[in-house]
Amino acid sequence: MKRIEKTLLALAGAALMGLGGSAWADINVGVTVSATGPAASLGIPEKNTFSLMPKTIAGQKVNYIVLDDASDTTTAVANTRKLITEHKVDVVVGSTVTPNSLAMIDAVSEAQVPMISMAASARIVEPMDAKKKWVFKTPQNDIMMALAIATHMQAQGVKTVAYIGFADAYGEGWYGEFNKVAASKGLSIVANERYNRTDTSVTGQALKIMAARPDAVLVGGSGTPAALPQKTLKERGYQGKYYQTHGVANNDFLRVGGKDVEGTFLPAGPVLVVDQLPADHPAKKSAKAYVTTYEGAYGKGSVSTFGGHAWDAGLLLAAAIPEAVKKAQPGTPQFRAALRDALEAVKEMPGAHGVFTMSPNDHLGLDQRARVMVKIENNTWKYQP
């Protein structure tokens, strides 16, 4: 009897689709995150966040298929192709880091499956072209955060800056963006160094930076590997100002950095210091909702900004799916195209990191409401008004 009932429901759903109504069908969301490897401190809270997302949207059951890419670009691409070909997903969310996300673009654009990246580089969605029209992202662009850092440095009286970043797309991208805005704020870059995420020593690079005698050092890294240059410089006696990117805004960085990262400045999404924000901040309510939900599941103090990027991807889907199901049945090319169009049409949607307004030429949709400056004080984050 149950089998007969299911068959009748399926037939009824198909008939409704033929009449222009929405069918009862599962929506499959494919996820690849860096839950292990060098970017694990970013990917784990993202993975955790997907367990908190709604299992039903617009009357449709939503399945989340979550794979670990181990912070590896080749694995991220393989995961993406597997999600598309084997799991027939309607959308791909991921990956955690910029190199992985950039490498995934060909796979999703070829299959015409929308993708929401949780990585930072603007190169993931810019410049807009036929491939990137299928790609969206939730983290703030590097240029937005680079401008926040340069402005803060200027106010702090900094004149000379040394840069040390990852020897990959993240580190190169950050140097490029910071270099664009430095001169406009009266800043001179006097050293430019690189290191690998898996390196255990940066002594040579630190010595070159020390020799340049900069007023401040900017580390273009993310997760726990970003602590290495700062710890090394501290050991060598460098006493200037330290800046990090929003790629370190989690408690694992505080744990690994310890006393060596005290006094560090960095830009971050408002979710990091939500309880310190003024009551009228446009993202305070939505950011607080995420913090409450995550800490309710994983414990007080467990939340991180990176999980917030996953949460915002979920909010975008919750806003777009009801529009897409009006036009096509999940699991079809027509639905995937409709979902892409609906994501691009999202307007003034509050998230954990800011307010999203997408457009055909802007697949991030965040503005200056999406960043604040913070300082590490007493092994915690202090909002800098």
Mark whether 164 and 209 lie in a shared domain.
yes
Classify residue 130 as exposed, middle or buried by CB count within 10 Å of its CB (0-12, 13-18, 19+).
exposed
pLDDT digits (tens, 9 = 90+) for 70-126: 999 999 999 999 999 999 999 999 999 999 999 999 999 999 999 999 998 899 999
Domain-located, residue 247? yes
Domain-located, residue 281? no
Domain-located, residue 327? yes
Q: How many C-beta atoms surround the C-beta of residue 48 within 10 A?
A: 20
Domain-located, residue 195? yes
Of 302, 309, 294, give the one whose Cα is nearest residue 352: 309
Domain-located, residue 13? no
95 DSSP 8-state letter: -
Mark whether 62 and 114 lie in a shared domain.
yes
Q: Looking at residue 291, which CATH number applies to its domain?
A: 3.40.50.2300
Q: Which two tokens stand for residue 323?
A: 């529009």
Domain-located, residue 22? no
Mark whether 149 and 192 lie in a shared domain.
yes
Domain count, the chain: 2
**For residue 10, pLDDT beyond 80:** no
Mark whether 129 and 219 lie in a shared domain.
no
pTM of the model: 0.85
262 DSSP 8-state letter: T
Mark whether 219 and 134 lie in a shared domain.
no
Q: What is the pLDDT of residue 25?
A: 81
Q: How many C-beta atoms surround the C-beta of residue 172 within 10 A?
A: 17
Domain-located, residue 2? no
3-state secondary structure of 1: coil
DSSP symbols for 37-61 = STTHHHHHHHHHHHTTS-SEETTEE
Sequence letter at residue 64: Y
Spatial separation of the C-alpha atoms in residues 35 and 307, rounded to whole Å: 12
**For residue 8, pLDDT beyond 50:** no
- Containing domain of residue 291, as a range? 27-140+287-366
Mark whether 292 and 216 lie in a shared domain.
no
Domain-located, residue 226? yes
Q: Which two tokens stand for residue 19?
A: 């009449």
Mark whether 170 and 198 lie in a shared domain.
yes
Of 66, 127, 82, 75, give the one whose Cα is nearest residue 99: 75
Mark whether 313 and 229 lie in a shared domain.
no
Where residue 4 falls among pLDDT bands split at 50, 70, 90? very low
Spatial separation of the C-alpha atoms in residues 226 and 248, rounded to whole Å: 7
Q: What is the pLDDT of residue 24?
A: 60
362 DSSP 8-state letter: B
Is residue 94 a contact partner of residue 104, using CB atoms and an 8 Å limit? Answer: yes
**For residue 15, pLDDT beyond 70:** no
Stated length of the chain: 385
Mark whether 119 and 190 lie in a shared domain.
no
Mark whether 251 and 149 lie in a shared domain.
yes
Counting runs of H as helices and runs of E as strands, what totals does the chain give? Answer: 12, 15
Query: In this prediction, what percent of the chain has a pLDDT beyond 70?
Result: 94
Mark whether 134 and 154 lie in a shared domain.
no
Is residue 237 a contact partner of residue 341, using CB atoms and an 8 Å limit? Answer: no
Domain boundary among 241, 268, 295: 268
Mark whether 324 and 255 lie in a shared domain.
no
Distances 99 to 167, 173, 313 between C-alpha atoms, Å: 11, 11, 19
